[in-house]
Structure 1
Amino acid sequence: MFLKPKILFSWFVFLLSFTSLFLSSWIVLPAPNMFLLTLAVGAPEVSPWLLLFNSLSFLLSFFCIRRHQSQRLACIFSLIGLLICVWVLVNIPISQMQMDKAMKQGLGTNYLEEIPVSARARMQTHPFDLVNSFRGIPLGKTRHQKDIIFASPAGVPLKMEVYQPPEVGKYPAVIVIYGGAWQYGNPHANSEFNQYIAHQGYTVFAIDYRHAPKYKFPTQLDDVRTALNFIRKHAAAYEADPERMVLIGRSAGAHLAMLAAYQPDAPPIRGVVDYYGPVNLSEGYKTPPNPDPINTRAVLKAFMGGSLEEFPNQYEIASPINYLTHPLPPTLLIYGSRDHLVEARFGRQMYERLKNSGNTAVFLQIPWAEHAFDAVFNGVSNQLALYHTERFLAWALLKQ
């Protein structure tokens, strides 16, 4: 026997309300495993979309459902989902004010005036654009080269991708290092970001490195340093200025970016951008996050070749926070308050140590963001991060 159309529609609206709430709930719920971590990462970034879904389900449940009990539940589900999404959107202006203040404290009140007007004209005009959340962030035309082999250690070909502005010229170099728990990933990661930055007037090098557990630390650092030497040696061929370089990394890539830039014999680096990178491996091993969806200790053991008890000195050597004994490049640190892989407290600790040792540093914290928040390029968090990252790059590489 078939259900009546009205009953079917009521169940559809109820299911829509429940689904919208389920997805929205991961804006505030911590993910206990890697599967649910995907939802926890993505939910706040697509909160404008979820706001629409919750609004639609609320209106449908309020005006169209006639079965009293299901209407009440559907309305409650939708209303809770709406409130969660609104929490993110309402906090955007507050977070932007805090970030703007942090940038001025770290780089100087008038740091924007040091950036050429032509560079400022190419940047995003607003830290958050609701239209871009739906249509995407415009990327602009660039030139793109793939599969450039820069080294073959032990017969393993290491490749890079190069993104260049559309016009031939000589541009500052931005070296991008992907994340992936030091175990996976490739230079094609975050291609939208690389294309966007190249269009802003930089030559972007997205580099590779060998992965754990087959290759232990410091192999990954050695590969990054090899890539830097290759880029400096062949800079002219890629229209890059070897005296104006910034390193950008995400997660494990941010860890490698800081380590490479902070070495006493590092090439001249104008700045480092750290997106949610591990900075204190010893402390991270001792006090993993809770919940711990990635199994932090297992990841560190695979990278280091064993536990902290087995290799305490190696853990210290592999921690960027222990390299503050000499002047370091200016560092921009961006972390999410809800990060359950690399907690924001580590970014704050790194910032305090850099500042107290006389180095230039900026710490930005996004209240609703999880680890890898910029995986959604036009997401709420990445719009804020990109807005400040492009200003930091211009200040470090183009300032007059």
Structure 2
Amino acid sequence: MTAPMDLRSLIRAPHPDLAPLPPAAPVGNGVRLHRGVPYAELPGARPLELDLWLPDGAGPHPVLLLVHGGAWRTGRRGDMGHRMRTWRPGPFARLAASGFAVASVDYRLSGEAAFPAQLEDLRSALAWLSTRSHELGVDTDRTVVWGESAGGHLAALLALADDVPGIIGAVAWYAPTDLTSDADDPHSPEALLLGATPATVPERAIQASPLLQVHPEAPPFLLVHGEDDSLVSPEHSRRLAERLSEVGTPVELRLVPGADHVWHGLAEDQVEEVFSTSLAWAHQLTSR
């Protein structure tokens, strides 16, 4: 049976630009959390959601857009890496308590859509935040994007896009920056993201490589990478830092001795230091 069109319209969920926010839950330290906020509708696919951690006060607060890792294949928006899963308060609450509005976002994984879908999703998240900025008390003209691993790769690409206003800096932890180098393995995370081996889709691989998207108008970057990273070579961050410096973009490269991927091998106080120095760097940008 076919339902009348007026009934279809009646039962359809409100568009994310207009939908009421989920109720806020206080999480302590002057922070409230709106969990599972839809920010984009995709035909035939799941709605994309973000968690929004807001400091108390009217704002407008600068924005941290957090992008999770997981080799573009897995991962959750509520996860900033396994070394921080036991933190109480958690990393997102800490970031918000410091004065940032923190949006940790879903994006389509490589099993759902090939690149550039993931970048389009992050654009949509920023557009949603901008549309509802007055209601939320956020200043999207002071946005820092921050990601780890695959999320760092996407954060870097978003910061390098020339059609995304408001981004004033990017923090990338142990991020792959050149997707053209692993050209022949069809089962690699890079090939699964691109929908084919980089060798067979070279233009797409170039578009998906932050190293090859650098331009003089890029915002400042903080690149942090473990010297002993066994999954993503620190050469990825070194080369991106060199390229950004060549075009005159302010860039800070921090190589962490004794650290493998996701900060494996570091003592707890060293992980805390990486987190706190990255946060301090973001605050320097938004306070200018």
Q: Structure 2 length as normaliser, TM-score?
A: 0.82
**Amino acid aligned to 1:363:** L
Q: Which position in structure 2 is the counterpart of 1:265?
A: 163
Match of 1:305 among 169, 174, 195: 195
Which runs of 5 or more residues in structure 2 are unaligned? Answer: 1-27
Deviation, 1:296, is: 9.6
**Amino acid aligned to 1:146:** R
Q: Distance in 2 between matches of 1:340 and 1:235?
A: 40
* Structure with the higher fraction of residues in helix conformation: 1
Match of 2:263 among 373, 380, 389: 373
- CA deviation digits over 1:24-71, x for unaligned, max 9? xxxxxxxxxxxxxxxxxxxxxxxxxxxxxxxxxxxxxxxxxxxxxxxx
Match of 1:385 among 254, 260, 274: 274
Q: Distance in 2 between matches of 1:205 and 1:274?
A: 16
Give 1:25-64 correspondences, 5 Å limit: none
**Amino acid aligned to 2:270:** S
Cα distance change of structure 1 residues 342 and 232 upon mapping to structure 2, 3 Å threshold: same
- CA deviation digits over 1:86-115, x for unaligned, max 9? xxxxxxxxxxxxxxxxxxxxxxxxxxxxxx
Q: Which position in structure 2 is the counterpart of 1:163?
A: 53
Deviation, 1:342, is: 1.0
Q: Which position in structure 2 is the counterpart of 1:34?
A: none
Q: Which position in structure 2 is the counterpart of 1:252?
A: 150
Match of 2:241 among 351, 357, 361: 351
Deviation, 1:140, is: 3.5
Q: Which position in structure 2 is the counterpart of 1:220?
A: 118
Q: Distance in 2 between matches of 1:182 and 1:345?
A: 20
**Amino acid aligned to 1:383:** E
Deviation, 1:141, is: 4.2
Q: Distance in 2 between matches of 1:261 and 1:296?
A: 28
Specify which structure has the bigger relative contact order, considering alpha-carbon pairs within 8 angstroms and separated by 6 or more residues. 1
Q: Distance in 1 between matches of 2:217 and 2:265?
A: 32
SS at match of 1:338: coil
Residues 213, 305 of structure 1: 8 Å contact kept: no
Report percent identity of matched pairs: 27
Residue range with higher mean Cα deviation, 355-364 or 295-304: 295-304
Cα distance change of structure 1 residues 140 and 373 upon mapping to structure 2, 3 Å threshold: farther
Give 1:191-340 correspondences, 5 Å limit: 192-283=90-181, 285=182, 298-340=188-230
Return the index of the structure with the highest Cα Rg.
Answer: 1
Deviation, 1:270, is: 0.9
Q: Distance in 1 between matches of 2:162 and 2:170?
A: 15
- CA deviation digits over 1:322-349, x for unaligned, max 9? 1223310100000001111111111011
**Amino acid aligned to 1:310:** T
Residues 182, 212 of structure 1: 8 Å contact kept: yes
SS at match of 1:220: helix
Q: Structure 1 length as normaliser, TM-score?
A: 0.60
Match of 2:71 among 181, 192, 199: 181
Residues 217, 303 of structure 1: 8 Å contact kept: yes
Which runs of 5 or more residues in structure 1 are unaligned? Answer: 1-138, 288-294
Match of 1:148 among 22, 25, 37: 37
Misfit runs of 4+, over 4 Å: none
**Amino acid aligned to 1:299:** P
- CA deviation digits over 1:100-143, x for unaligned, max 9? xxxxxxxxxxxxxxxxxxxxxxxxxxxxxxxxxxxxxxx84411
* Structure with the higher fraction of residues in strand conformation: 2
Deviation, 1:297, is: 5.5
- CA deviation digits over 1:131-172, x for unaligned, max 9? xxxxxxxx8441111010001112321000011113343211
SS at match of 2:225: strand
**Amino acid aligned to 2:197:** S
